[in-house]
Amino acid sequence: MSKSIAIIGGGPAGLMAAEILSQHDVKIDLYEAMPSLGRKFLMAGKSGLNLTHSEDYSLFVTRYGNKQPEIVKYLDDFKPKDLIAFTNELNVKTFVGSSGRVFPIEMKASPMLRTWIHSLKIRGVTFHLRHRWSGWEDQQWVFETPAGIIKIKPDATILALGGASWPKLGAKGDWIPWLVQAGIMVKPFSPANCGFYVKWSTHFSEKFHGQPVKSVVLSFKDFKQQGEFVITKKGVEGSLIYSASAKLRDELTSKGQASLTLDLAPDTSTEKLTQALGRPRGSTSLSNHIRKTTGIQGVKLGLLYEFLAKENFENPDKLANAIKALPIPLVSPTPLATAISSAGGISFEELDDHLMLRKMPGVFCAGEMLDWEAPTGGYLLSACFALGRAAGNGALRWVHES
């Protein structure tokens, strides 16, 4: 008689666990709380599904910060090239964008997800939608369903319940109390790849919200990167901000304050700016003088007026230094519910090398519910797929040996 394995969670990690299991003689049931599968996966594909990154693997693995040692062992078994090959097997062709990021040619997530689910169904995976896990009872897993409460007792279980960002898509973190009650160490969730609130003046907020700030260098401690971001009514968001968000968030958490620094003219030296700004301006307005001599205008000029004392605008040295290193004080991260991803989750100390909970034999965990984080750029999805694959293999090993 075939062993039974339950997967709770129908995102990338849960589906990849099902992919591994479906290649073996086991009974597979996947339970998803929402009315459809992969909702956050589909949301990620709305602006172009960034599957992974094409950079050298030795650099790729460094993107996981202090959790690199925990994540790399699973990425080693399912590298970005393996993810691309798997995607191609689903008849989804990929391409490498100018930034090195890897996308499906169609850019969307829906064709890949649709093909993948169909393939899993053909191989015997049974999907149970609108089945929300609601704890344990008599050593059985309890689910709330449209037909009422059901209980199951599989030979092994894989939890792929996600983190706590974008809860309306299904990942609410509501599983935490049950695992904590079972003695599992869970680090509280916090926003990752998030924006930040800034105390803008009313004038600046009304004039510049929604505008991109392009071709700047953001610095914070040992972080330094060129890119762009967007001004919001209450702060900042966008790819460059997300790249530095973990360090900025941790600084705000530990010290209660943090400021990022912007180089508004990365291709021009401080000396050249000082020289240009020192030219006589005659009857030309100060704003036009700055624009004509340095090219700084629009939202960049607005940022200068927002954070540089008025008297310093008449000093070419101080104005040039501000253009090259303008501090932007942050108030706090934007809420977890609006973050792209979350940090925190189940400590890796609670798991063995096969992602099984040491205190709950036969229960495996994967994906964003574990305590790791990564920047955008394909790193999040790559690790979710790799962790799902590892949990699937771990569960197979368990049911065959137990």
139-153 pLDDT, tens per residue?
Answer: 899 999 999 999 999
385 band by pLDDT with thresholds 50, 70 and 90:
very high
pLDDT in tens, 353-368: 999 999 999 999 999 9
pLDDT in tens, 227-253: 999 999 999 999 999 999 999 999 999
**Structural domains in the chain, sorted by start:** 3-191+340-401 (3.50.50.60), 196-333 (no CATH)
60 band by pLDDT with thresholds 50, 70 and 90:
very high
Tell me the percentage of the chain whose pLDDT exceeds 90.
90
Tokens of 208: 């510049």
Residues 385, 16 contacting (CB under 8 angstroms): yes
b (16+ CB within 10 A) / e for 317-339: ebbbbbbbebebebebbbebeeb
pLDDT in tens, 190-217: 999 999 999 999 999 999 999 999 999 9
Q: What angle do CA 34, 35, 41 make, to 5 degrees?
A: 65
What is residue 170's predicted lDDT score, i.e. its pLDDT?
Answer: 80
> Exposed, middle or buried: residue 295 (CB in 10 Å: 0-12, 13-18, 19+)?
middle
Q: Distance (Å, rounded) from C-alpha 249 to C-alpha 230?
A: 18
pTM of the model: 0.91
1 band by pLDDT with thresholds 50, 70 and 90:
low
What is residue 46's predicted lDDT score, i.e. its pLDDT?
Answer: 76
Residues 367, 14 contacting (CB under 8 angstroms): yes
Indicate the average pLDDT of the chain. Answer: 95
pLDDT in tens, 249-292: 999 999 999 999 999 999 999 999 999 999 998 888 999 999 99
Tell me: pLDDT of 47 over 80. Answer: no
What is residue 2's predicted lDDT score, i.e. its pLDDT?
Answer: 85
